[in-house]
């Protein structure tokens, strides 16, 4: 019984994916194929490389990803290339083939308006491209394409795991309609979330298990001090649905 999981984008809220993965391990769910977009691609790559979710959390707490980007006023505000040394430190083989679990990374080709998938060859460039939020980061040029965040066109793609008997979707960008939007930053963050939710319902319909930890709505995209809370939000929500998840898997297995 092949199990595939697709991890959405969501900035630092993507740390919630680690909590979900940790809970799934404890429940006894083995993941056979990971799909990732934006921050979900980075969390997914670390997991696919064999790191335990709590190991990745500790790495994130020690390295603080944002110190690896710097202002760059050319087709974007920040230079995502500064992430490369950090990613290479923990994914030194820089190849999809070097991962322990198959991984597919999605990015948006802004020249042709198409979602593109990477699952072979170099790993770091596709990860940076998938995480390249438009306007905030300069686009990544790779394989003759100009690439930005995969979430621009599909924030939780299921196509790469359609051959899996069990498909799990994890969306880490729930919306809290009661949250005040009193600053430009808050409005920008909400706008990015809404863009990422376009087409989400069609992808959700293709998943056997859909996980969206509601507590993640309490946190913003760049709250570094709250990443452990985000991890816990993903873990606790998934554990609370243990029986439901096992029931779905048992039903699919028996069919």
- Fold classification of 3-254 is Cytosolic phospholipase A2 catalytic domain (3.40.1090)
107: which 2 tokens? 């990015």
Q: pLDDT of 69-104, one tens digit each?
A: 444 445 445 677 878 888 999 999 999 999 999 999
Predicted pLDDT of residue 196: 63
Q: What are the residue boundaries of the structural domains of the chain, listed by start?
A: 3-254
Using the predicted structure, report yes or no on whether residue 140 has a pLDDT greater than 50.
Answer: yes
Average of pLDDT values for 102-121? 98
Least confident span in 6-15, 76-85, 226-235: 76-85
Question: What is the arithmetic mean of pLDDT over 101-122?
Answer: 98
Cα separation, 165 vs 150, in Å, equals 24
Average model confidence (pLDDT) for the chain?
89
Residue-level pLDDT at 150: 93
Give the 3-state secondary structure of residue 106: strand
Q: What is the pLDDT of residue 138?
A: 86
Residue with tokens 């020249």: 111
Rounded mean pLDDT, 159-188: 84
Whole-number pLDDT of residue 215: 96
**137 three-class SS:** strand
H or E stretch covering 150: none
Mind listing the pLDDT tens digit for each residue in 43-53?
A: 999 999 999 99
Q: Is 94 left (phi over 0), alpha (psi -120 to 50) or beta?
A: left
């Amino acid at each position: 019984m092949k199990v595939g999981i697709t991890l959405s984008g969501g900035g630092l809220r993507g740390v919630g994916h680690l909590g979900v993965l940790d809970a799934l391990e404890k429940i006894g769910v083995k993941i056979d194929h990971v799909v990732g977009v934006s921050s979900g691609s980075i969390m997914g790559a670390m997991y696919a490389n064999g790191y335990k979710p709590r190991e990745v959390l500790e790495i994130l707490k020690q390295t603080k990803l944002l110190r690896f980007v710097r202002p760059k006023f050319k087709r974007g505000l920040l230079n995502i290339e500064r992430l490369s040394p950090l990613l290479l430190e923990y994914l030194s083989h820089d190849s999809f083939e070097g991962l322990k679990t198959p991984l597919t990374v999605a990015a948006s080709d802004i020249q042709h308006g198409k979602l593109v998938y990477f699952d072979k060859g170099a790993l770091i460039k596709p990860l940076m491209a998938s995480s390249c939020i438009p306007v905030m980061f300069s686009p990544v040029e790779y394989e003759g394409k100009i690439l930005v965040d995969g979430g621009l066109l599909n924030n939780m793609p299921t196509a790469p795991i359609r051959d899996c008997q069990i498909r799990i979707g994890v969306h880490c960008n729930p919306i809290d309609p009661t949250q005040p939007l009193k600053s430009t930053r808050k409005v920008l963050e909400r706008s990015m979330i809404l863009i990422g939710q376009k087409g989400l319902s069609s992808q959700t319909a293709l998943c056997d298990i859909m996980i969206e930890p509601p507590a993640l709505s309490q946190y913003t995209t760049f709250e570094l001090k709250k990443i452990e809370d985000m991890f816990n939000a993903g873990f606790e929500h998934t554990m609370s649905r243990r029986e439901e998840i096992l029931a779905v898997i048992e039903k699919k297995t028996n069919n």
